[in-house]
Structure 1
């Protein structure tokens, strides 16, 4: 099946689409200098779990929908021995076009947010550079702390990575890139995002790349699945190149706040959506 046909066929699977949570069909990330050095956990006091990407010593890029449940936000990094370290978040800035109360798939705005930490990340965390446009057919590597077994939350909070291929653009209310397993190609169960992977980094090429080309937003199951799945088929990615200007401007605004910034936790909308809690 061609990439264009895959994108058209994806329409039939969207009833089972969900915010991305954990890497299904991927591998545990073990390299000290790999995704560990820039992939972070994003957690809220309301129990939400997502992933994020370090883009500066005090800044983290993630998916805006991860923050819509309200509550205090914190970031967790892994040290060189893969032990967890907690970092308080003092300010949250979602993309101005983001509309609370929608699902990631039906989001008419941009599913991005920048977080400002109370102090710089440890020196062993290496912020990523903002990459250029992603072409159809390019391979990418995604990483996240989501589920490795769909509907089993006990498999979350372990860093995993997976190689995918960009199948092209997909447009509903907004436009995202859609990536699929390099072998299954979205037709059969394969590697891809799952619950908890939302906000995770997508790098151009291999896991050793430092070129951030996207942030995971949502996922859906494969085309030829006999059971309802929300993971292991298509991974929807918010492209960095389309929003580089806003990311740069938002980063400057948050850094200009200085050390006296205070977290502005989003107020939960009436129809707030959590991919983590959804069934």
Structure 2
């Protein structure tokens, strides 16, 4: 059935389905386990009003989706303590993947939708950085987590950490190649669980929400195949796999950590987006 779903997707997704940067988990459950997704998933907010999610890979480094930050502005990261209370920290520098093309949509942009954030201070010790996992296999069940909308048309449902189990249906290629995950039961054909507005940049974990094995980052979502309503959530969740970018993630993290810490905030400048940007300080 997975093969059938993916075959249908390859024929119809670019023509008939509305897609968007992914935001919050629909059809999932609220995260309540202090040792689960809470310990590795953060909320990313910009002064321009953008809301996304991120995966902690080091005490001062967050991996997220590059398109979340393309509008510029100052950036902050919100983590949750073990009692699920919010704590905010400043981002001092951003490193997008060099192939990312600003001004394009996540589904059609030809580059890699990944970016690294450097925090002004290390995250609290109750946050547990994720390990970069290996290749994500077709048919494998994973857990995704994120903040934002749990109801597609209700903005008030944003900013609460949610998670859901999905199954990887395989590759989907337009200008770039992503993994496409679907609800374990509906398989993307009818409304089910998946990413929505606010989940972009959120972690995709091998196995359960307590896993430390990061296999992907959420990029965009679409509605299910069999629906008369124009939906942008609850169908397909597009994932950028991390295994193909391990070297860039390691090198980029080292570059950001070499900046020297919070004292660089006094030297920070407002990010300027252009076709040739490679990295910047944030205010």
The residue aligned with 2:47 is 45
Report matched runs for 1:10-21 at 5 Å: 10-11=9-10, 12-14=12-14, 15-21=17-23
Aligned with 1:148: secondary structure?
Answer: coil
Contact 1:141 1:163 in 2 (8 A): yes
Are 1:168 and 2:179 matched, yes or no?
no
Once the two structures are TM-superposed, the CA of residue 4 in structure 1 deviates from its matched residue by 2.7
**Aligned partners of 2:138 and 2:67: how far apart in 1?**
26
Q: Find the partner of 1:183 among 178, 182, 185.
A: 185
Matches within 5 A, 1:21-32: 21-32=23-34
Q: Verify the 8 A CA contact 1:68 1:267 in the aligned structure 2.
A: no
Give the CA deviation at 1:265.
4.8
Structure 1 residue 23: deviation in Å?
A: 0.1
Partner of 2:244 in structure 1? 242
What TM-score do you get using the length of structure 1 for normalisation?
0.94
Give the match for residue 198 of structure 1: 200
Query: Using the alignment, how far apart are the partners of 2:109 and 2:223 within structure 1?
Result: 19
Corresponding residue pairs, total: 269
Q: Which consecutive unaligned segments of at least 5 residues does structure 1 have? A: 271-279
Contact 1:25 1:191 in 2 (8 A): yes
- The residue that corresponds to 1:267 in the other structure is 272
Question: What is the CA–CA distance in structure 2 between the aligned matches of 1:219 and 1:105, rounded to whole Å?
Answer: 9
Determine whether 1:208 maps to 2:210.
yes
From 92, 95, 110, the equivalent of 2:94 is: 92
Q: Aligned-pair RMSD on alpha carbons? A: 1.3
Alignment of 1:77-226 (within 5 A): 77-226=79-228
How far is 1:97 from its partner?
Answer: 0.3
SS state at 1:258 partner: coil
Equivalent position SS for 1:261: helix
